[in-house]
Amino acid sequence: MTTFTHPPRILFLYGSLRDRSYSRLAAEEAARIISGFGAETRFFDPRELPIYGSVPDTHPKVQELRELSLWSEGQVWTSPEMHGNITGMMKNQIDWIPLTCLLYTS
All structural domains of the chain, each given as residue ranges with its CATH number in brackets, are 9-98 (3.40.50.360)
pTM above 0.85, yes or no: yes
Give CB contacts under 8 A, 24+ apart, made by 87-90. 87/15, 87/16, 89/15, 89/16, 89/17, 89/46, 90/13, 90/14, 90/15
Instruction: Encode pLDDT of 38-78 as tens digits.
Output: 999 999 999 999 999 999 999 999 999 999 999 999 999 99
Local confidence band at 98 (pLDDT 50, 70, 90 cut-offs)? confident
Cβ neighbour number for residue 86 with a 10 Å cutoff: 18
**Alpha-carbon distance values, 99 to 10, 33, 51 (Å):** 17, 28, 18
Please give the average per-residue pLDDT across 91-97, as a whole number.
96
